Amino acid sequence: MLLIKNARIINASGELPGLKDILIEDGKITRISQGLACDGAVVMDAAGKAVMPGFIDLHVHLREPGREDKETIASGSRAAVKGGFTSIFAMPNTTPAMDTAQVVQFVFDQAKKVGLVNVYPVGAITKNRDGAQLTEMMDLRRAGCLAVTDDGKSVMNAGLMRRAMEYAGMAGLLVMQHCQDPSLTGAGVMNESLVCTRLGLKGDPVVAETVIVARDIELAHYLGTPIHFMHISAARSVELIRRAKKEGIPVTAEAAPHHFSLSDEAVKGFDTATKVAPPLRGMADVVAVKEGLKDGTIDCIATDHAPHTQEDKELDFDAAPPGLIGLETAFGLVMKELVDAGILTLPQAIDKLSFAPARIAGLADKGVIAEGKDADMVIMDVEKEWLVRRDDFCSKSRNSPFIGWTLKGCVDTTICGGKVVYP
Amino acid sequence: MTEWTQKHLLDLDDVSRDEIELVIETARSFKEVSAREVKKVPALRGKTVALLFFEPSTRTRVSFELAAKRLSADTLSIAASASSVTKGESVLDTALNIEAMNVDAMVVRHQASGVPQILAQGTKTVIINAGDGCRAHPTQALLDVFTMVDKLGPLDGKKVVIVGDILHSRVARSNISALLTMGAHVVVCGPSTLMPCGVEGLGVEVTTRIDRALDGADVVMALRMQKERQNELFLPSITEYIREFCITSERLKKARPTALVMHPGPTNRGVEIAADVADGAQSVILEQVTNGIAVRMAVLYLLLGRKTE
Amino acid sequence: MPTAQKIMDPDQVRRALTRIAHEILERNKGVEDICLVGIRTRGAVLAARLKRAIEQIEGKPVNCGILDINLYRDDLTLISHQPAVRETLIDFDITGKAVILVDDVLFTGRTIRAALDALVDLGRPSCIQLAVLIDRGHRELPIRADFVGKNIPTARTQDVRVRLVESDGVDDDVVVEERRSV
């Protein structure tokens, strides 16, 4: 039993009036009221801090099994709780890929051993993610998967994508698409733009993303089955999704913190931590992503936490693998770039980080602090500033372009399933 | 007179007109040295220059090596193929190992853009970019500007046309940078598939019509056309490229009669430039090679011939 | 305040150069095998004046060139202010010739050492003779001048400043002053 006193509770729907006490029993929130007392409960005082539903990240690379030198389920879980996340969706581009119930079960088992956060393995759409044959999605669903994706790659064959959406609909799985047409990306390593021309790097054009967004909107429209667009980076994609939503097509979308915090100008120093797929875009795209978050076109924020070793990132810009770590800096960037900048209110930010991803993934008991719901929450020192330091990450990797930044909003305590998991 | 203040030579984006003129003036003196019976001065005696070439390039390496030797510096040539990288050694690691041998400067050539900049940030040694990816080839552009100024005088208002694969050309990028700084009017011409995104934003005129590009030109610079571009789907065929863009004597008539014909080498005769044009009276291609040594001597002298920290 | 003492005026400079021109001719028995090489910047000005004086006396042309010694300096890596390198302009062969090396002030001798190295890289003169307007002493190398306009005893703490109308745009003068602290 855990009793949190003097909690200023902020949900996506707004801030509850006054300070409340929260009683947690057996991993559930059982009472929210004033002046609660309970014999035998561990008491925590949240005075001066905000209590929010734990964050839910639909897009995390935990690298286990296969690349435990970059991240493990244990280290990734530690990074998650440090960033205030209580549920994370593990991407299937592992070795082997999460394309069978056995691999999915392995991830569940490892996560249970670690016991810090809810880890939801996301199954692959195609076997070995090679875009040829569908995975056994009914089996994946039975093993506990909530969603499928071939993340890292788009499903390029439109006919196969159609079947995937139809079949996943039957299995009750959310289909998540990484939007990037490799025939347009080519050897591109950064956004195709004047900056790219100056730097002499090969360009990855916006249209490599938008052709897939447009195609899949049409598929969703034709089939009437939902599609979730991952890490939307381009203004044009935001516009396509906005129109689709207006027409009532069942699409949802996420944006990553780096796509609203950095533009392609950040690549100028050739820091490989700024190499990411889809790439950092132009300033107009950054503004459009923020606008999409503000008007609800983009439903949620997901980090695309992608750890890479120092050896991998010490390669030249062409050779280094794309990706950056995001779990530990996500909330700070949301505060700095969205809340303090007047794009989102704090409750709206919590919607993007907790409530909306729970809704998209179908986690009915998560994403909100209310009686009867899961006791996943974060006690946040909202006003506290902190410096992002290379040595302070809990992730095994250090590939962050935000090292040296001062961010606001520091996690005080993370509670998952009624258990204090951080610090 | 201006002094050279930059520690490295990575690109020409932040090199001022005064500094380019200083390089030209200094190169003029070194051209005289290279014409002597004894082609050697003791200015950099005791200094060591490492030539670190991750991408093979005999011409540029030899030019730098001669330049360093004519200044009495010792040279160390390292053909760091991709093999050491596959062994797990990063570019920076390779450079740090060479730095540990107390070299004074590293001349770096790499197939990836940005490597010289990464080495300048990660080591204490003077870094001279000998060509990185599609980004920059500053000494080539300086020798091109030196050759133009030598023949034409000040470049203000002069029309310089660069023809070919602009997209993949570090020579084009560095020349655009230097030529605009020197006040020239720069025109880039080539197939639309080989034009970099937003290139007009650099301040150049862009055209896909060779006759319009060459009209009244003071300098015509042809770039090497790699045959691979055909397989990479940039071009339907090399034959069509030749038909549309090859600098022929007929096309050259559009340019001023005094126009210089230049090429960074090595030339694909009959592809981007006709043999009779490459060998013709207007061609200064071999002079570019000669001037290359003088310019590289100037760059080495300006970067190393003083008290360094 | 540094006290400046004027050592030579335009007439004195002119007379000294005329005398040196005569001495050069006397020592070399005419102009047949001599050439003049002035060290940039003021040595080159003086060499040009000597050339005119000699040609006036003998009525025969004399070769005269300009030597830039910066690439031969022994202190390049000790100074942070980098000297601008300029062209050496010697468009005649010095091999077998008596080279009259000309400079404004002879002090430590290091500049002359550099000039000697530079000259032997250019050819093999039959001999090299040194002509200077001022010899102020304090040699650090075994070098002496063959022709001297004026010997001036100085302290090491002093500067000798030569100004010539062609290079400095003011009337010729030579001044000794206390070194300005830097």
Helix (H) or strand (E) holding B184: none
User: What is the residue whose two structure tokens read 């043999």?
Assistant: B275
Q: Do B308 and C77 touch (CB under 8 A)?
A: yes
CA–CA distance, C147 with C22 (Å, rounded to integer): 10
Q: Is B29 close to C85, i.e. CB distance below 8 A?
A: yes
Q: Are residues A33 and A156 in the same domain?
A: no
**Identity of the residue in B85, B113, B118 whose CB atom sits nearest the CB atom of A200:** B113
A232, part of any domain? yes
Low-confidence ranges of chain A (pLDDT < 70): none
Q: C59: distance to nearest CA of chain B, Å?
A: 31
C121 to B40: CB separation less than 8 angstroms, yes or no? yes
3-state secondary structure chain C: CCCEEEEECHHHHHHHHHHHHHHHHHHHCCCCCEEEEEECCHHHHHHHHHHHHHHHHHCCCCEEEEECCHHHCCCCCCCCCCCCCCCCECCCCCCCCEEEEEEEEECCCHHHHHHHHHHHHHCCCCEEEEEEEEECCCCCCCCCCCEEEEECCCCCCEEEEEECHHHHCCCCEEEEEECCCC
Question: Which chains sit next to A, with 3 or more Cβ pairs under 8 A?
Answer: B
The closest CB to that of B306, out of C82, C86, C88, belongs to C82
| Chain C residues 99-158 with CB within 8 Å of chain B | 117-118, 121-123
Indicate yes or no: CB of B197 within 8 angstroms of CB of A200. Answer: no
* A236, HSE (Cβ side, Cα atoms, 13 Å): 13
Q: Which residue has the tokens 């009495």?
A: B72
More confident residue, C8 or B90: C8
A176-211 pLDDT, tens per residue?
A: 999 999 999 999 999 999 999 999 999 999 999 999
Cβ pair B43:C80 closer than 8 A: no
CATH code, residues C4-76+83-178: 3.40.50.2020
Residue A116 lies in a domain: yes
- State the burial class of residue B197 (Cβ atoms within 10 Å of its Cβ: 0-12, 13-18, 19+): middle
The answer to whether the beta carbons of residues B210 and B244 sit under 8 Å apart is yes
* C146 to chain B, closest Cα gap in Å: 27
CB contact under 8 A, B29 and C88: yes
Which structure tokens are listed for A255? Answer: 């944006």
Is A369 among the domain residues?
no
d(CA B14, nearest CA chain C) in Å: 20
Chains touching C (at least 3 CB pairs under 8 A) are: B
Q: In this structure, what DSSP letter does residue A315 have? A: S
Residues of chain C contacting B25 with CB distance shorter than 8 Å: 84-86
3-state secondary structure of B247: strand
**A192 closest CB neighbour out of B117, B173, B197:** B197
CA distance B265 to C39: 39
Which chain C residues are closer than 8 Å to B307 by Cβ? 77-80
Q: What totals of helices (H) and strands (E) does chain B contain, helices first?
A: 13, 9
Quick: pLDDT tens for C59-111: 999 999 999 998 898 877 677 677 788 888 999 999 999 999 999 999 999 99
Residue among C29, C27, C26, C20 nearest C103 (CA):
C20
- Chains A and C: 3 or more CB pairs within 8 Å of each other: no
- Residue among A66, A214, A92, A79 nearest A146 (CA): A92
Do A386 and A407 form a contact (C-beta atoms < 8 A)? Answer: yes
Residues A215 and A353 in one domain: yes
The Cα B162–Cα B81 span in angstroms is 31
Same domain, A160 and A80: yes
B59-78 pLDDT, tens per residue?
A: 999 999 999 999 999 999 98
Residue among A292, A238, A293, A259 nearest A191 (CA)? A259
Task: Report domain extents, chain C.
Answer: 4-76+83-178
Report how far residue B186's alpha carbon sits from residue B171's, in angstroms, rounded to the nearest whole number: 13
Q: Is residue A109 part of a domain?
A: yes
pLDDT for the residue B158: 98
In angstroms, the CA A406 to CA B64 distance is 45
Token pair 């390292």 is found at B78
Q: Determine the topology of domain B138-288 in CATH.
A: Rossmann fold (3.40.50)
The answer to whether A318 contacts B133, with C-beta atoms less than 8 Å apart, is yes
Nearest to C176 by CA among C43, C7, C13, C10: C7
Comparing CA positions, the residue from B8, B5, B14 lying closest to residue B123 is: B8
Q: Does C72 touch chain B (CB under 8 A)?
A: yes
Query: Is the Cβ–Cβ distance between A245 and A227 less than 8 Å?
Result: no
Identify all chain C residues contacting B298, using CB atoms and an 8 Å cutoff.
Answer: 85
- Cis bond upstream, residue C41 (ω within 30): yes
Burial A166-192 (b: 16+ CB within 10 A, else e): ebbbebebbbbbbbbbeebbbebbbbb
Helix axes B115-122, B91-99, angle to 10 degrees: 50
How distant is the Cα of A197 from the closest Cα of chain B, in angstroms?
6
Q: Do chains C and B touch (3 or more CB pairs under 8 A)?
A: yes
pLDDT at C1 over 50: no
The answer on A74 and A42 residing in a single domain is: no
- Using CA atoms, how far residue A335 sits from A303, A332, A386, C53, in Å, is 14, 5, 12, 83
Distance CA B215, CA B259 (A): 11
What is the DSSP code (8-state) at residue A372? T
| pLDDT number for residue C3 | 76
Range of the domain at A26: 2-50+376-396+406-422
Catalytic residue among A150, A264, A304, A374: A304
All residues of chain B having their beta carbon less than 8 Å from the beta carbon of residue C70 are: 43
Q: Is the dihedral of CA A367, A372, A375, A377 positive or negative?
A: positive
What are C106-157's pLDDT values in tens digits? Answer: 999 999 999 999 999 999 999 999 999 999 999 999 999 999 999 999 998 8
Same domain, A140 and A225: yes
Chain C residue numbers touching B70 (CB-CB < 8 A): none
Mutate to test the interface with B, among C69, C70, C71 (most CBs of B within 10 A): C71
Chain centroid offset of residue B58 CA: 14
Residues of B in contact with A317 (CB under 8 A): 112-114
Looking at the domain assignment, is residue A366 inside a domain? Answer: no
User: Are the Cβ atoms of C88 and B301 closer than 8 angstroms?
Assistant: no
Closest CA to A411 of A40, A117, A71: A117
CATH 3.40.50.1370 residue window(s) in chain B: 17-136+289-304, 138-288
Spatial contact of C116 and C94, defined as CB atoms under 8 Å apart:
no
B22 to chain C: which residues are within 8 Å by CB? 84
Nearest chain A residue (CA) to B92: A314
Does any domain span residue A367?
A: no
Residues of chain B with pLDDT under 50: none
* A304 in catalytic set: yes
Q: Tell me whether residue A227 is in a domain.
A: yes
The residue ranges of DSSP E strands in B124-279, in sequence order, are 126-132, 159-163, 185-189, 205-207, 219-222, 260-262
Band (C2; pLDDT cuts 50, 70, 90):
low
Sign of CA dihedral B108, B110, B113, B117: negative
Chain B residues with at least one Cβ partner in A under 8 Å: 13, 85, 88, 90-93, 110-115, 117-118, 121, 132-136, 170, 173, 196-199, 201-202
**How far is the alpha carbon of C4 from chain B, nearest alpha carbon, in Å?**
27
**Which residue reads 């991709």 in tokens?**
B82
B29 closest CB neighbour out of C68, C80, C82 = C68
Do A184 and A247 have their domain in common?
yes
Instruction: Kindly determine whether residue C82 and residue B32, on different chains, have CB atoms separated by under 8 Å.
Output: no
- Nearest-neighbour CA in chain A from B10: distance (Å): 12
Q: Amino acid letter at C80? A: S
Using left for φ > 0, alpha for ψ between -120 and 50, and beta otherwise, residue A417 falls in left
For the purposes of burial, counting CB atoms within 10 Å of the CB of B192, is it exposed (0-12), middle (13-18) or buried (19 or more)? exposed
Q: Give B197's contacts in chain A (Cβ within 8 Å).
A: 192-194, 196-197, 203, 205
Residues ≥6 apart with Cβ < 8 Å to B190: B163, B164, B165, B166, B167, B208, B223, B245
Q: Which of C77, C82, C122 sits opposite B36 (nearest CB)?
A: C122
Query: Closest Cα of chain B to C60: distance in Å?
Result: 28
pLDDT in tens, B227-252: 888 888 899 999 999 999 999 999 99
Number of domains in chain A: 2
| Cβ contacts of A194 on chain B, cutoff 8 Å | 197-199, 201-202
> How close, in Å, is residue C115 to chain B by CA atoms?
12
Helix axes B58-70, B285-304, angle to 10 degrees: 50
Computed on alpha carbons and rounded to an integer, the radius of gyration of chain C in Å comes to: 16
Q: CA of A354 to nearest chain B CA: how many angstroms apart? A: 39
Same domain (yes/no): A132, A271? yes
Q: What is the mean pLDDT of residues C162-171?
A: 93
**Domain assignment of residue A243, yes or no:** yes
Domain B17-136+289-304 sits in CATH 3.40.50.1370: yes
Contact A209, A182 (CB under 8 A): no
Rounded to whole angstroms, how far apart are CA atoms B219 and B261?
A: 6
Q: Report the candidate in B243, B255, B178, B242 with the shortest Cα–Cα distance to residue B211.
A: B255
| Strand, coil or helix: A118 | strand
Per CB-CB distance under 8 Å, the chain C contacts of B32 are: 87-89
Interface touch B30/C117, C-beta < 8 Å = no
Angle between helices A235-246 and A206-223 in degrees, nearest 10: 10
Chain C positions touching B34 (Cβ under 8 A) are none
Phi, psi of C43 (to 5 degrees): -65, -35
- Hunting for tokens 């809704």 — which residue is that? A359
The conformation of residue B129, written as its DSSP 8-state character, comes to E
CA-based radius of gyration for chain A: 20
- Cβ <8 Å between B29 and C86: yes
CATH code at position A16: 2.30.40.10
Residue type, position A352, single letter: K
User: Percentages helix, strand, coil for chain A, rounded to the nearest 5?
Assistant: 35, 25, 40
d(CA B125, CA C121): 31
Put simply, whether A284 touches B (Cβ < 8 Å) is no
Q: What is the pTM of this model?
A: 0.90
Instruction: With CA atoms as reference, report the closest residue to A301 among A333, A275, A324.
Output: A333
The residue of B90, B91, B134 whose CB has the most chain A CBs within 10 angstroms, and thus the best one to mutate to test that interface, is B90
A184 touches chain B (CB under 8 A): no
Q: Say which residue the tokens 């055909």 belong to.
A: B230
Q: Which of C76, C77, C121 sits opposite B38 (nearest CB)?
A: C121
Among candidate residues A390, A383, A214, A206, the one with its CA nearest the CA of residue A313: A390
**A121: Cβ–Cβ under 8 A, 6 or more apart, which residues?**
A89, A90, A92, A98, A103, A104, A107, A108, A144, A145
Contact (CB, 8 A) for B256 and B233: no
A227-229 sheet: strands from edge to edge: A147-148, A174-177, A227-229, A251-255, A300-301
